[in-house]
Structure 1
Amino acid sequence: METSIHIGNLIKHYIDQNNLVRTTIAKQMATPNTAIYAYEKRKYIHCQTLMRLCGAMRYNFFMDIANSMPKDFGYDPKLVSDKDALIAQQATEINKLTLENNLLKELIMGRK
């Protein structure tokens, strides 16, 4: 299966959507501002460069990439984000509350 993501498009889209200044990003990365435009055109970028971009923009492009993968792909569950852990906790709590609600309905219906 071929999964292809144009990393440069992700970068450009994020910069445009958030009205970021490319010169500011370049300064934080200690690179010429023309490099930012070059990154936007690249389909592939070295992980280290992407890490530096993430740091400069305070945004996790790796999560965008991970979220674009098919849901049946495996991963290390120890690396689940706080948000995912919270969602799982809330799902468990919803199930528990649903069971309690159904039990209460049965008790109320049984009294009538």
Structure 2
Amino acid sequence: MITIKTGEILTAYCNRKGVLKSRLSQKTGIEYQSLLKHLRSNTLRVDLLLKISEGLEHNFFMDIAAQLPKSYSSDISLNESLINENETLKEKIKLLETEKNILLQVTGVKG
């Protein structure tokens, strides 16, 4: 049986992104002590994981799914997943282009 330690995934994300657990508690409405207990746990109820995903605007479900064997089936087609990823990347490119143009204007360098 596969073991996916959701508490470790959440804690690693918080540490990597500098998310304070007290702030996460406020954003999600999960009491601080309960949140700490959940982060130490190997399992987490789906409703809590969804609440934390919404609070952090991060898809922990996808992080978990990525740890499953590629041979497992899914109702989401690869094409749909790629379309979603493509849209996200397009948005990031627009943002980067805007930032580049601002930097070029500020530094006086012609692009």
Instruction: Tell me the TM-score normalised to structure 1 length.
Output: 0.68
Bigger radius of gyration among the two: 1
Measure, in 2, the Cα distance between the counterparts of 1:16 and 1:23.
13
RMSD over aligned Cα atoms: 2.1
Tell which deviates more after alignment, 17-26 or 76-85. 76-85
Counterpart of 1:4 in structure 2 is 3
1:67-82 paired onto structure 2 within 5 Å: 67-78=66-77, 80-81=80-81, 82=84
Residue type at the aligned position of 1:73: Y
How far 1:29 sits from its partner (Å)? 1.5
Counterpart of 2:85 in structure 1 is 83
1:18-97 paired onto structure 2 within 5 Å: 18-78=17-77, 80-81=80-81, 82-83=84-85
Query: Structure 1, residues 15-58: CA drift from partner, whole Å, max 9, x if none?
Result: 00100011111111222222221111111111001000101111
Q: Secondary structure at the match of 2:30?
A: coil
Tell which deviates more after alignment, 59-68 or 73-82. 73-82
Question: Which runs of no fewer than 5 residues in structure 1 stay unpaired?
Answer: 87-112
Where do 4+ consecutive residues of structure 1 move more than 2 Å? 77-81
Question: Which runs of no fewer than 5 residues in structure 2 stay unpaired?
Answer: 89-111
Measure, in 2, the Cα distance between the counterparts of 1:30 and 1:66.
25
